[in-house]
Amino acid sequence: MKIAMAQLNPTVGDFEGNLALIEKTLRSLDGARPDLVVFPEMFLTGYPPQDLLERDWFVERADRALAETLEISRSHAGVGILVGTISRNEDAVGKGLRNAAFLVKDGAVVAERHKILLPTYDVFDEARYFDPADRSDVVPFGDEILGISICEDAWSDPSLWRRRIYASDPIEEQARDGATVFVNISASPFSVGKDEVRRRLFTGHARRHGGTFVVVNQVGGNDELLFDGRSLCVAPDGRLLSYLAGFREEVAVVDTASEEPGVGFPPDDPVASVREALVTGLRDYVGKCGFSKVVLGLSGGIDSAVVCALAADALGPANVLGITMPSPYSSPGSIEDSRKLAENLGVSFEIVPISEIYESYMDTLEPHLEGREIGITEENIQARVRGNILMAHSNEYGSLLLSTGNKSELAVGYCTLYGDMSGGLGVISDVPKTMVYGLARCINAEREIIPEATIEKPPSAELRPDQQDQDTLPPYDVLDRILELYVDDGASLAAIVREGFDEATVRWVVGAVDANEYKRRQAAPGLRVTSKAFGTGRRMPIAARYQH
C-alpha cells in the first residue's frame, strides 16, 4: 500500500485554512497516486481547541468541515483520506463529543473511529471534552487491514510509565483482530528527547505485532505547545521506511511493501532541537495571533540576546526591535553589547535612558519610603519603568512584546511582576539558564552573533551597584539540577538532599519555587520544551500551607 504522510501545521479554528491544506496536499500528490493520504489528529479543528469544543457553533463548523472534506475527496477518485476531527456522540450520557478519525474515499465515509485513551496528565485534559470509545475495530482497505488509532491509543506501553495508567492496549487489540497496517494520527507535543522515545515505542509495536506502523504527527506551534512532526513509518522487522524532518511541513509517500534497507534515525542534538522548537513556536505564535513584528528589551545579558537572535531567525531582522534602557546602575559594556548584538543581527535598535524617570519615581515615593533601607522596592521600580516603556512601544506600533526571562529565574521568582515579566510571550521561560548558554553557543556556531562578552560576563540584573545573580541565587548548574529534580521529576526535599546537595540550599530553592506560584500564574504564556513546563501542564495551589 502506498501511504502519503501529510505532516502539516494546522491552526486552531481555521477550518478554511486547514481544508485548503488538505486540498493543496491532494493536488500535489496527483502524480504519485497514493492509496491513502494521512493527516494528523484533529486536523480539521486544529489541536488543541480547548474550550472552543464547548461552543455549539464550533462543533457545527467542524461538522461542515467534514462535509467539505467529503466534497474534496470526490475530486480525487480512488484516494483514501484519513483525517482527524471531532464527532458527535449521540449517547444519552456523556460529554457528547469524541476525538475522531474519519476514513473517506470518493465522497463517502468508509470508516469512523474514536479515541479510546484520553490523556489527563501534564498539558492534556481530553476527558474534559470527550467521551472515550470502548474499542477501535480494524478496517479492511484495499489489500490490507488497517488498525486506526489516535495518538495516546498507541502509548499504553508499560515500559513508558512508572505506574500503568490504562487498563487496555488498543494496538494489541487491533493486532489480535488481524491488523496488517497500523496507522496512528497524532498531535504529540515536543519535549527534549521525546523523538527517541517515539522511535522506540513505534518500532516496538511494529516488531511485536508483525505489522507496518505509520505515525503522522502534527508540526508547528499552537500557544505553549510545540509539535515537532518527525512522522515515521516502521516495517514489521523494525526498519525505518520513512522518517520526516522535525519542525517542518513535509509530505512523503511510503510503500509499506518496500524491501529497501530503510533510512537512518538521525541523532538529535538536544540544544539544536530546542532552538528549532523555539523558532517554530515563536514564528507560529506571532503569525497565528495576527502580529508581524515584535519588540523586546535588550539588557546586554545572555537571556535577551538569545531571545533576540531567535526572533530574528523566526520573523526576519526587519520585524524585530530591541530597546536598551540604561539606568544609573547599567554598565557601559551592557549598552555596547546590546548595540553590537543588534548590528550583528540587523535588527532595529533604540536607546531609551530611564534614569530621569526612575529619579522622578523616587522623588514621588520619598515621603512614603523615608527612613527605610534601599532594597528590592527600588530595584523593582527600575524593572517596571522598563516594562512600561516596552508596553508603550507595543501599544503604539502593534508589536508583540517578548518576555526574556528563563525557567531558572521564573522558578524561584527572580523576576519582577509588571516589569521584566511583562509581555505577550515568554520565549525561553521553559529553558533553564544552563541551556540558555548552550543556545548562545549554538547560535554562534558559524559566526559571532551574540557578543562573546555577553556570554562570558557574570549574569546580573544591574539594578544595584556591582550586582550579580549569584549574590542571590545558587550557582546556575546547582540551581538547575535541583529544579529539574523538584519541578520536572517531582522529587521530595529529602530525596534531593540525598543526591548530594547542601540541605540549606535545597530548602531555599524549594521554598522559593513554592512561594512564587502567584507570580508564575501571572506570567506570559511560555513555549514548552521540557517534560514539565510552568503553565497549563503544572497546576499547583497558590493559597496553601504544606510541609516538605
Dump the DSSP string for 383-444: HHHHHHHHHHHHHHHTPEEEE---HHHHHHT-S-TTTTT-SSEETTTTS-HHHHHHHHHHHT
Instruction: Give all strands of the β-sheet with 232-234 in edge-to-edge order.
Output: 139-141, 144-150, 181-186, 212-217, 232-234, 240-243
Contact 324, 351 (CB under 8 A): yes
**For residue 174, what is its C-alpha cell?**
487491533
What is the Cα–Cα distance from 443 to 125, expressed in whole angstroms? 35
Residue closest to 89 by CA, chosen among 68, 118, 110: 118
Question: How many other C-beta atoms can be found within 10 angstroms of the C-beta atom of residue 31?
Answer: 6
Q: What pLDDT shows up at residue 463?
A: 61
Candidates 2, 105, 115, 407; catalytic one: 115
The length of the chain, given as a count of residues: 548
Question: How many other C-beta atoms can be found within 10 angstroms of the C-beta atom of residue 477?
Answer: 12
The phi, psi pair for 183, rounded to 5°, reads -125, 120
Alpha carbon 534 to its chain centroid, in Å, reads 12
Second-level CATH architecture of 274-464? 3-Layer(aba) Sandwich (3.40)
48 prior amide bond cis, ω within 30: yes
The phi, psi pair for 50, rounded to 5°, reads 50, -130
What is the Cα–Cα distance from 530 to 339, expressed in whole angstroms? 32
pTM, rounded to two decimals: 0.94
266-270, Cβ contacts within 8 angstroms, sequence gap of 24 or more: 268/193, 268/195, 268/196, 270/192, 270/193
Residue closest to 279 by CA, chosen among 395, 405, 442: 442
Candidates 126, 151, 224, 532; catalytic one: 151
In what helix (H) or strand (E) does residue 271 lie, and over which residues does it extend?
Answer: helix 270-288
Q: What pLDDT shows up at residue 468?
A: 67
The residues, any chain, with a CB within 8 Å of residue 161's CB and separated by 6 or more, are: none
What is the Cα–Cα distance from 149 to 156, expressed in whole angstroms? 12
User: Is residue 480 left, alpha or beta, with left meaning phi > 0 and alpha meaning psi from -120 to 50?
Assistant: alpha
Instruction: Give all strands of the β-sheet with 320-324 in edge-to-edge order.
Output: 348-351, 320-324, 294-297, 400-403, 425-426
* In the block, residue with C-alpha cell 516589569: 419
Second-level CATH architecture of 2-258? 4-Layer Sandwich (3.60)
Q: What pLDDT shows up at residue 376?
A: 86
What is the Cα–Cα distance from 166 to 118, expressed in whole angstroms? 10
Contact 492, 548 (CB under 8 A): yes
Residue closest to 99 by CA, chosen among 141, 148, 147, 56: 148
Candidates 41, 276, 379, 462; catalytic one: 41
Q: Is 45 helix (H, G, I), strand (E, B) or coil?
A: coil
Q: What pLDDT shows up at residue 465?
A: 62
Handedness of CA 296, 302, 305, 306 (dihedral sign): negative
**For residue 147, what is its C-alpha cell?**
488498525
Q: What pLDDT shows up at residue 467?
A: 60
In what helix (H) or strand (E) does residue 359 lie, and over which residues does it extend?
Answer: helix 355-369
| pLDDT tens sequence for the chain (548 residues) | 999 999 999 999 999 999 999 999 999 999 899 999 999 999 999 999 999 999 999 999 999 999 999 999 999 999 999 999 999 998 889 999 999 999 999 999 999 999 999 999 999 999 999 999 999 999 999 999 999 999 999 999 877 777 888 889 999 999 999 999 999 999 999 999 999 999 999 999 999 999 999 999 999 999 999 999 999 999 999 999 999 999 999 999 999 988 888 888 887 899 999 999 999 999 999 999 999 999 999 999 999 999 999 999 999 999 999 999 998 887 888 899 999 999 999 999 999 999 999 999 989 998 888 877 778 888 899 999 999 999 999 999 999 999 999 999 999 999 999 999 999 999 999 999 999 999 999 999 999 999 999 999 877 655 656 666 676 789 999 999 999 999 999 999 999 999 999 999 999 999 999 999 999 999 999 999 999 999 988 999 999 888 88
- 115 catalytic per annotation: yes
The residues spanned by each domain of the chain are 2-258, 274-464
